Amino acid sequence: MTYPSIIAGTDKPLSSIYQLALLDLDGVVYRGADPVEMAATGIAHAKERGMRIAYTTNNPSRFPSLVADQIRSFGVELSPDDIITSGIVAAGMLSKELKPGDTVLVIGGDHLRDELKKRGLQVCDLASDRPQAVIQSWYPDVSWRQLAQATYAIAHGARYFATNRDMTLPREGGITPGNGAMILPVVAATGVEPEASAGKPEAYMYDIARDMFGHNGNRLPVEACLPVGDRLDTDIEAANRGGYASAVVMTGVAGPDDIMRAVPQLRPAYICANLEGLNKAQPRVEVSSEPFESSSHDEQGTGDTLRRFTCGAASAYRRSVSSTRVHLEIKGREVQSACGSLDALRAAASAAWDAVDRDGIQAQDLNLPVFSSDLSDCGATETSVSDQEKKS
């Protein structure tokens, strides 16, 4: 399996290259009840270019019709059939793992229960019903009593499944516990991990979308689909597991430092400020090599080749193959921090990944530039590096 080693670039807007965008919802299209900035505009412009939009969410707590109503309130036209939830995927998964008529203890909302019933499975709430399986999903009214019933059932031999393992969930007020966090008490009490998870980071959801939105019964090729998300450990990892190129948006969980330190399986192909990025050509990161020249006596004679990663007016590099520091220049001037520049982040992330992949530097040991969370495709506001800092 091949993972991104550098941020990718394109000559055309992403919406002109990919036939189908697979958009995550929480942190990408909305945060709780509120729309994410530029999401509706970005979706509308992508559709104008001929891109099909599907919505993939690890949140199984609501019916697709209710989700569609919320998105329509932002001015976006869609059908409930455009939405794929982890509840839909989980029901399909359990129908293959269990026999028709088997009973499943459900921690979750009505949407998940209905999907299981559609697949010929019985649902229950109590361990005393001796279910063959437990499935745990996120929903806002989960209680200690429900978790206790799950632990009782698992202790009596029920198989344990999860709709998804997101540790956090973006809401209007900030970051909240996700299903992955709510699974932990059950795991601690039983010593049993869920044997399978239906949602991302598995690629099932994306693969199902290729079937649902193919033409004349033909599955769309992987190369025609672009997963877009705000989480590296679910949205982006699922894309990499399935062989999809992906885009991360800066409107949810993942921040600049997360991207720069991302291990190979969590790396996106593209970085966008928000969904309007679908309608822009992605700037290329150019890689150049040059002999290392240092004004510092300590660094002379290393024989190292400096690899410079340039995107627009920004470039990033390390001063030697053993150096853990990624230096950043904007318009030829070395800076310590960059506020508002996606090009600088693209360059810095590519340099950081190169340090890990080529030179074996540990990602957690890297000394990286500082970025604000407010990133765009426009210019940057820079904080200069002092002469002393330049020598490090």
The reply to whether 109 and 180 lie within a common domain is: yes
Question: Which structural domain range is residue 183 located in?
Answer: 87-197
The reply to whether 54 and 109 lie within a common domain is: no
The reply to whether 342 and 241 lie within a common domain is: no
Number of Cβ atoms within 10 Å of the Cβ of 191: 8
Please indicate, yes or no, if residue 389 is contained in any of the structural domains: no
Please indicate, yes or no, if residue 392 is contained in any of the structural domains: no
The reply to whether 42 and 29 lie within a common domain is: yes
Please indicate, yes or no, if residue 113 is contained in any of the structural domains: yes
The reply to whether 94 and 182 lie within a common domain is: yes
Boundary residue ending a domain (197, 222, 256) = 197
Nearest Cα to Cα of residue 197 among 248, 233, 228, 247: 233
Boundary residue ending a domain (144, 164, 197) = 197
Please indicate, yes or no, if residue 29 is contained in any of the structural domains: yes
Number of compact structural domains in the chain: 3
79 backbone dihedrals φ, ψ, rounded to 5°? -110, 150
The reply to whether 112 and 177 lie within a common domain is: yes
In sequence order, what are the residues at sequence separation of 6 or more whose Cβ sits closer than 8 angstroms to the Cβ of residue 130?
103, 153, 156
DSSP 185: H
Q: What is the mean pLDDT of each run of 10 residues along the chain (392 residues)?
A: 93 98 96 94 98 95 95 97 95 96 97 97 98 96 97 99 90 89 98 95 94 90 98 96 98 95 98 98 94 53 75 94 93 82 96 96 96 61 42 45
The reply to whether 94 and 191 lie within a common domain is: yes
The reply to whether 191 and 251 lie within a common domain is: no
Please indicate, yes or no, if residue 68 is contained in any of the structural domains: no
The reply to whether 268 and 290 lie within a common domain is: no
The reply to whether 275 and 291 lie within a common domain is: no
What does the alpha-carbon distance between residue 137 and residue 180 come to, in Å, rounded to a whole number? 9
What does the alpha-carbon distance between residue 113 and residue 125 come to, in Å, rounded to a whole number? 11
Boundary residue ending a domain (197, 227, 246) = 197
Please indicate, yes or no, if residue 267 is contained in any of the structural domains: yes
Please indicate, yes or no, if residue 70 is contained in any of the structural domains: no
The reply to whether 233 and 246 lie within a common domain is: yes
The reply to whether 193 and 91 lie within a common domain is: yes
What does the alpha-carbon distance between residue 6 and residue 260 come to, in Å, rounded to a whole number? 11
What does the alpha-carbon distance between residue 146 and residue 148 come to, in Å, rounded to a whole number? 5
Please indicate, yes or no, if residue 384 is contained in any of the structural domains: no
The pTM of the whole model exceeds 0.95: no
Q: What is the CATH number of the domain that holds 20?
A: 3.40.50.1000
